[in-house]
């Protein structure tokens, strides 16, 4: 079975077209990197898969069913996590509030809720981390906690919206390896959006590249080539491979953007993905 199927999908934000007539399928158990230039629609696509944005045209199916809000088969890590609420809460209390579906506070979980919480924490190796307050955690530790939160309820599909933002390279690698392990060991399908391909190199099965209203899904060798990327960027793209690295060039310049210029996803903006090393 396919985990996600897009059939002649069209998505718009306001009057701005984001995707036009996109048809593709992500297979169950795949680890797919989601990339694309600024405004390509990575977050918008995730919101549509979650059933939070209705297609302007075509359909989205998740495990054979039309996308709908509240689908328990999907775990989601939202993009903007620089400021978590209630930093005095422990990690356990933070996740417990999401299990109860309440506002952040001090919910009391029954035996089943505690079991779900412990199981999710153990999956990501965060049982000890969760005993500490959020304010005492590093960015990487909070990210691990948010992974656990997304795993509550045994989802079959994980949507990870740029989980590497603000992490140093070592922590980035840990997060990618964690996502790959969950994909392999639990058979979970993972869609992992990132700022650049180099962050996911060697981990993903296929890459989904969005841009200019279009999409290309395939292996890195199938997608990261001029004939495929040029229409997505709307300009002539050159792909240079050297010493195990891949660089994407437009003219004489690498296609890149300072990650600190990242804009909040509610405005529908996303990073350029850049020279892939």
For the chain, how many structural domains are there in total? Answer: 1
Residue 122 binned pLDDT confidence (cut-offs 50, 70, 90): very high
Using DSSP, state whether 104 is helix, strand or coil.
coil
pTM equals 0.86
The predicted pLDDT at position 209 comes to: 97
Beta-strand relationship, 189-193 and 31-35? parallel
Residue 156 binned pLDDT confidence (cut-offs 50, 70, 90): very high
The predicted pLDDT at position 271 comes to: 34
Task: Name the least confident of 111-115, 123-127, 177-181.
Answer: 111-115
- Please indicate, yes or no, if residue 119 is contained in any of the structural domains: yes
The predicted pLDDT at position 84 comes to: 61
Q: Say which residue, 274 or 49, is predicted with more confidence.
A: 49
- Please indicate, yes or no, if residue 141 is contained in any of the structural domains: yes
- How distant is the alpha carbon of residue 112 from its chain centre? 28
The predicted pLDDT at position 274 comes to: 39
In this predicted model, what pLDDT tens digit does every residue of 176-229 receive, in sequence order? 999 999 999 999 999 999 988 888 988 999 999 999 999 999 999 999 999 999
Region 12-27: mean pLDDT is 95
- Please indicate, yes or no, if residue 105 is contained in any of the structural domains: yes
Q: Is the pLDDT of residue 90 over 80?
A: yes
The predicted pLDDT at position 31 comes to: 98
Q: Say which residue, 156 or 117, is predicted with more confidence.
A: 156
In this predicted model, what pLDDT tens digit does every residue of 31-71 receive, in sequence order? 999 999 878 999 999 999 999 999 999 999 999 999 999 99
Residue 120, H or E segment: helix 111-123
- Please indicate, yes or no, if residue 222 is contained in any of the structural domains: no
Region 12-26: mean pLDDT is 95
The predicted pLDDT at position 42 comes to: 94
Q: Percentages helix, strand, coil for the chain, rounded to the nearest 5?
A: 30, 30, 40
Residue 260 binned pLDDT confidence (cut-offs 50, 70, 90): very low
Residue 110 binned pLDDT confidence (cut-offs 50, 70, 90): confident
- Please indicate, yes or no, if residue 107 is contained in any of the structural domains: yes
Task: Name the least confident of 8-12, 43-47, 86-90, 175-179.
Answer: 86-90
- Please indicate, yes or no, if residue 7 is contained in any of the structural domains: no
Using DSSP, state whether 62 is helix, strand or coil.
strand
Q: Which domain holds residue 106?
A: 82-150
For 58, phi then psi, to 5°, come to 75, -165
Residue 262 binned pLDDT confidence (cut-offs 50, 70, 90): very low
Distance (Å, rounded) from C-alpha 226 to C-alpha 144?
Answer: 36
CB contact at 8 A, 175 and 140 = yes
The predicted pLDDT at position 100 comes to: 58
The percent of residues in the chain predicted with pLDDT above 90, rounded, is: 57
The predicted pLDDT at position 265 comes to: 34
- Please indicate, yes or no, if residue 191 is contained in any of the structural domains: no
The predicted pLDDT at position 249 comes to: 87
Both structure tokens of 229: 């990327």
- Please indicate, yes or no, if residue 117 is contained in any of the structural domains: yes
Region 108-114: mean pLDDT is 77
């Amino acid at each position: 079975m396919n985990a996600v199927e897009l059939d002649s999908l069209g998505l718009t934000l306001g009057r701005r077209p984001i995707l036009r007539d996109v048809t593709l399928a992500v297979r169950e158990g795949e680890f797919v990197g989601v990339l694309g230039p600024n405004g390509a629609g990575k977050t918008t696509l995730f919101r549509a898969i979650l059933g939070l944005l209705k297609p302007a045209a075509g359909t989205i199916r998740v495990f054979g069913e039309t996308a709908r809000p509240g689908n328990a088969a999907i775990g989601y890590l939202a993009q903007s996590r620089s400021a978590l609420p209630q930093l005095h809460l422990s990690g356990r209390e933070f996740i417990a509030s999401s299990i109860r579906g309440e506002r952040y506070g001090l919910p009391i979980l029954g035996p089943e809720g505690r079991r779900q919480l412990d199981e999710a924490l153990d999956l990501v190796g965060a049982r000890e981390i969760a005993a500490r307050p959020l304010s005492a955690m590093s960015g990487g530790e909070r990210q691990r906690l948010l992974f656990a939160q997304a795993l509550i309820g045994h989802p079959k599909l994980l949507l990870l919206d740029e989980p590497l933002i603000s992490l140093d390279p070592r922590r980035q690698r840990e997060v990618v390896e964690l996502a790959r392990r969950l994909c392999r060991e639990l058979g979970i399908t993972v869609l992992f959006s990132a700022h650049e391909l180099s962050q996911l190199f060697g981990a993903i099965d296929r890459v989904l590249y969005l841009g200019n209203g279009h999409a290309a899904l395939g292996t890195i060798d199938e997608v990261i080539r001029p004939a495929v990327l040029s229409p997505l960027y709307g300009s002539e793209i050159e792909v240079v491979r050297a010493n195990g690295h891949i660089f994407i060039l437009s003219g004489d310049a690498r296609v890149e953007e300072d990650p600190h210029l990242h804009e909040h996803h509610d405005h529908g903006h996303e990073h350029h993905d850049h020279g892939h090393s």
